[in-house]
Structure 1
Amino acid sequence: MTSPDLIPLADAESIRRLDHLTCERQHISSLALMERAASRCTERLLAHYPDNRHWTIVAGAGNNGGDGLAIARQLQLRGHHITAYHPQHRPTSPNHTANAARLKRLIPTHDLAAYIPPTRGIQIDALYGVGLNRPLAAADTDLIRAMNRAPVPTVAIDLPSGLRADDDSPAPIIRAARTLCLGCPKAALLWQENEEYVGTLELVPIDLDRDALADTPAAARWLTAAWLRDQYRPRRRFAHKGDAGRLLIVAASRGMTGAAIMAAQAALRGGCGLLTAHLPAVCCSAYHAAVPESMTDADAHPDHNTRLDHDIPADALLVGCGLGTHPDSAALIADLNTRYHDRAILWDADALNLIARDSALQQLPPRSILTPHPGEFARLYGKALTHDRERIPAAQALAARMGAVIVLKGKYSIISAPDGTTVINPTGNAGMAKGGSGDVLAGLIAALLAQGYASFPAACLGTYLHGLAADLALETSAINSLTASDIIAAIPTAWRSIACTPA
């Protein structure tokens, strides 16, 4: 997959190449591209901190420092109070030198050695960017420690200084409250091991050349709303419920009816036209009351699912939410594998645990999607991951082995196809760390499968919508109070951001 709307996860060499090609093809200088990047950062800073008027900019000798000095000048021209530190007694990059001269025409600047931690306002870290590949000098180590002692928030430009883009980083590292990442995401910013340094991550587009972005090789790409709008399939004005897809949910067990309910409610919000749930008899009454739009098919066993007594018409299936791990349910999975081998099937929750236990169940239909959380993934993969750098290659390896699309859930969920195509989902928040969120995701993706989306686009669109709905729900909820039901309620608003077509 090569699309300019899917942004490559970039290393330092790729960033240099992208900058060069952008300048060449857009007929601009590297200094002009830096000015553009600084302008985008300045806009974000003013939006995030509208009441702040005092800024301390700490700029290194390279181009990251040049970005910081350009930001300082743009803020000063807007009437803000600026304190700027940068090297004044050692060589600097040409663009740093140019921006330092521009700033000095407006205000005096200070040498890095004279840095004093600010006591008010916002501190901007522009010491080192993506090119850092060596141990820090003693002076810079001391400077970073001093910056971390400042009693004000720090915003890092591109990366927190001291953090290497795609490798482990020795201490010290700037502890940023927010990181404005320029152009392309960098791998280390996405690892939970670096959470205390990155803070809130925000990708800042700087209009890099579209063809160069598409041609840049990368282990994974950043999922965007622009790409998803191209995948979106508008509903025909004369469509009827049969056109919108038939979804069969095989889920629930005694005490786990809620999982089926939430998956079903999300599936209906996701757009499927006809929904049938195969449930243990004990679950049917509660399910009917909560999801009146759905049909039900009661299993012969009152407490858990054992078999389908007849074929149920379905364009796609969702199997696993609250299913339980009784041996009868494992036999049911084997039957579904055979009975619906030509249909798209999403396997979630206990279905994944049953599949992990029995290699005979791992010959899945070719349009399958698996949506494991880290524990379920470890059981399928064969071992637990010890560092977030392992997530992308591990998801790719499991997708290839299972012949299925893998959605490895978590902050920055990884979606990988059997051919190695991999994207990173940027939406979602920590409020989703609550029971039921995974059932909502499963229902959303399964609804898209029922409507005829191919497995990989369905997984991408469903995962993005799921996280976006959770983000939108925070407008009326709080991070600790967010529930799966809140996410379901916000799905329509999330849809509107993608389905931006006339009614």
Structure 2
Amino acid sequence: MKLFTTDTIRQLDTLTIEQEGITTTDLMERAALALFHRLRSTLRPTDRVVVMAGPGNNGGDGLVISKWLYRDGYRVSVVLCHYGKPLSTDAAYQWSRLKEEKGLSYVEPANPKALNTIGPADVLVDALFGSGLNRPLQAAFASTVEWMNRQPAKRIAIDLPSGLFGENNGDDPHKAVVKADETYCLQQPRLACLLPENETFIGKWQVVDIGLNPKALSEMPTTWSLTTTDEAATCLKPLARFAHKGRCGHSLLIAGSPGMMGAALLAGKGALRAGTGLLTLHVPAPCLDIAQTALPEALCTTYLETCWPHQRVSSTCSAIGIGPGLGQSDATLKGLEALLLTAKVPLVIDADALNLLAAHPHLFEQLPKGSILTPHPGEFDRMLGRKPTTGYERLEAAIGMAVKAGVYLVLKGAYTACICPDGRCRFNNTGHPGMATGGSGDVLTGIIVSLLAQGYDRETACVLGTCLHGLSGELALDKESEESLIAGDLAANLGKAFKHLYRQRPIQTH
């Protein structure tokens, strides 16, 4: 699913109008009718609905929604908040039409204090501004938002909670923004929906198809996208009838240390469950018994004094992952540096290997082009050398790092961002908060290495790997809760995740 900036969405509105020969009013009616049907599906017959409409086209949407709700028998009150600000052409037209609805309750308050005379609501619809802002709300409109946030009603925002920008929202904790319980995004989610600093404002978001022109959508370029499971399913490579382990990839994981072998084993389980034909765990000699006992399906090689003979170990592998539970000793640093200089196959760098990169920035110059880095926010901040104040700032910095170093960067989070060396960013849309548990990232490392070993290209391995990882977490909730889920459940449910995606693949005809 493509993601577009607020400015680009406006261009798409214009292209839809031009290519379909309709008016701006027609498009508003189309969008509002779709929003009405979505809203009606959540309302109870007895709900008292108050629609807060602003002076722009978001307010126009709210006025049309109000009309349809009223005609459908709901108890609706409309509050047009413009405080002397002129209405947009379409909002003014819809306001004049709405006032023709006999019996419909509406009010045009002179100032925010007049809002206190409005009766109680079960549902408050925010159609003040949506994504139509270019500066923070102030004065009367800020007071209106504060009043809305005080109401003991369910708040549903149209497009975006009023006061929030579509992309960068800065770090002002005092900015006036509607705190929505739900947000109905028009056509596709805004980037703001995917960033942690906006969670308290957006609540749960869902997309409402408002009928923008399909040709315009497909042809409009963008560097942002959100991967759906349908899209991920098309990436799968079914096993050939005559497949054997030698043709299904050989994954090498350089991981583990005394006291941290769990990370190596979780990565190994992720790799095996993701389909690698062969797996070699390269571990410290004292840890060999743990590895071979806990993961008998894996081959094991060992090293002493936290150093390893890279050329011998890596000569037969198809992809290498390094970092989970590895430690950060001086000898490990030398080993990592040697690997970066000699690796001939795709490389995934995680955990302690990322921490070594952060502590020794000269290693960035030695990264093979196309390497895959999989940091969580803390690891990324250490590599960056500073702590960004917002998720947007971190994302921008991650894109800059990926482009400068020529690497893929999988920035883990609620909507993990798979960033390509050309600056494109593909967000993941599977998973849940219960996956925020120790070892979860190690499983992901194993999955990505496994897919690389099987011949998936680097971008697909990142995108499909994060999708499978999150989907496995979702399917684990058939037996577990978000609180009880552990990293081992992710590896254990990968088979179900693969099956789920295969069921979504388009039917192949010959």
Query: Per the shorter chain, which TM-score range?
Result: 0.7 to 0.9
Aligned 1:40-55 pairs, distance under 5 A: 40-46=34-40, 53-55=47-49
* Alpha-carbon distance in 2 for matches of 1:117, 1:193: 31
1:14 paired residue number: 8
- What letter is aligned with 2:105? T
Match of 1:429 among 425, 428, 432: 432
* Alpha-carbon distance in 2 for matches of 1:175, 1:208: 27
Q: 1:321 to 1:74 in 2, by over 3 A?
A: farther
1:96 paired residue number: 91
- What letter is aligned with 2:156? V
* Alpha-carbon distance in 2 for matches of 1:162, 1:182: 17
* Alpha-carbon distance in 1 for matches of 2:25, 2:499: 38
* Match status 1:285 vs 2:271: no
Q: Deviations over 1:95-134 (max 9, x none)?
A: 4345442585375031142545664522211111211124
Q: Are 1:70 and 1:103, in contact at CA under 8 Å, matched by a contact in 2?
A: no
- What letter is aligned with 1:30? T
* Alpha-carbon distance in 2 for matches of 1:36, 1:455: 41
**SS of residue matched to 2:247:** coil
Match of 2:350 among 343, 348, 351: 348
Q: Are 2:370 and 2:421, in contact at CA under 8 Å, matched by a contact in 1?
A: no
* Alpha-carbon distance in 1 for matches of 2:296, 2:100: 69
- What letter is aligned with 2:106? H
* Match status 1:252 vs 2:279: no
Q: Are 2:448 and 2:462, in contact at CA under 8 Å, matched by a contact in 1?
A: yes
What is the CA distance between 1:253 and its match in structure 2?
0.6
What is the CA distance between 1:67 and its match in structure 2?
2.1
2:128 paired residue number: 127
Aligned 1:134-153 pairs, distance under 5 A: 134-136=135-137, 138-153=139-154
- What letter is aligned with 1:14? T
What is the CA distance between 1:195 and its match in structure 2?
2.5
Aligned 1:239-318 pairs, distance under 5 A: 239-301=243-305, 304=306, 306-308=308-310, 310-312=312-314, 313-318=316-321
* Alpha-carbon distance in 2 for matches of 1:292, 1:52: 61
1:165 paired residue number: 166
Q: Deviations over 1:273-297 (max 9, x none)?
A: 2222112233333333443332222
**SS of residue matched to 1:447:** helix
Match of 2:76 among 73, 78, 82: 82
* Alpha-carbon distance in 1 for matches of 2:90, 2:75: 23
What is the CA distance between 1:477 and its match in structure 2?
3.5
What is the CA distance between 1:141 and its match in structure 2?
2.4
2:495 paired residue number: 492
1:324 paired residue number: 327
Q: 1:496 to 1:79 in 2, by over 3 A?
A: farther
- What letter is aligned with 2:79? Y
* Match status 1:105 vs 2:101: yes
1:25 paired residue number: 19
* Match status 1:364 vs 2:367: yes
Q: Are 2:2 and 2:224, in contact at CA under 8 Å, matched by a contact in 1?
A: no
TM-score (norm 2): 0.86
Q: Are 1:391 and 1:414, in contact at CA under 8 Å, matched by a contact in 2?
A: no
* Alpha-carbon distance in 1 for matches of 2:410, 2:402: 9
1:459 paired residue number: 462
Q: Are 1:305 and 1:323, in contact at CA under 8 Å, matched by a contact in 2?
A: no
Q: Are 1:220 and 1:392, in contact at CA under 8 Å, matched by a contact in 2?
A: no
Q: Are 2:50 and 2:121, in contact at CA under 8 Å, matched by a contact in 1?
A: no
Moved more, 159-168 or 15-24: 159-168
Structure 2 unaligned runs (5+)? none
Match of 1:200 among 200, 204, 208: 204
Q: Deviations over 1:191-243 (max 9, x none)?
A: 33333212223333434334433544545333333443443333334333333
Q: Are 1:181 and 1:203, in contact at CA under 8 Å, matched by a contact in 2?
A: yes
Q: Are 1:118 and 1:150, in contact at CA under 8 Å, matched by a contact in 2?
A: no
- What letter is aligned with 2:457? A
* Alpha-carbon distance in 2 for matches of 1:485, 1:179: 34
Q: 1:465 to 1:106 in 2, by over 3 A?
A: farther
Match of 1:405 among 408, 428, 439: 408
What is the CA distance between 1:45 and its match in structure 2?
3.8
Q: Are 2:145 and 2:178, in contact at CA under 8 Å, matched by a contact in 1?
A: yes
What is the CA distance between 1:351 and its match in structure 2?
0.8
- What letter is aligned with 1:151? P
* Match status 1:177 vs 2:178: no
* Alpha-carbon distance in 1 for matches of 2:42, 2:485: 23
Q: Deviations over 1:119-162 (max 9, x none)?
A: 45222111112111245463322221111111122111111112
Q: Are 1:88 and 1:111, in contact at CA under 8 Å, matched by a contact in 2?
A: no
How many residues get paired?
494
* Alpha-carbon distance in 2 for matches of 1:447, 1:103: 63
Q: Percent identity?
A: 38
1:419 paired residue number: 422
1:154 paired residue number: 155
- What letter is aligned with 2:159? D
Q: 1:30 to 1:266 in 2, by over 3 A?
A: farther
What is the CA distance between 1:316 and its match in structure 2?
0.7
- What letter is aligned with 1:347? I
* Alpha-carbon distance in 2 for matches of 1:193, 1:74: 34
Q: Are 1:279 and 1:305, in contact at CA under 8 Å, matched by a contact in 2?
A: no
Moved more, 38-47 or 402-411: 38-47
* Alpha-carbon distance in 1 for matches of 2:67, 2:239: 49
* Alpha-carbon distance in 1 for matches of 2:254, 2:430: 28
Match of 2:377 among 374, 378, 391: 374
What is the CA distance between 1:28 and its match in structure 2?
4.1
Q: 1:281 to 1:45 in 2, by over 3 A?
A: farther
* Alpha-carbon distance in 1 for matches of 2:205, 2:101: 33
* Alpha-carbon distance in 2 for matches of 1:326, 1:461: 33
Q: Are 2:369 and 2:405, in contact at CA under 8 Å, matched by a contact in 1?
A: no
* Alpha-carbon distance in 2 for matches of 1:87, 1:415: 41
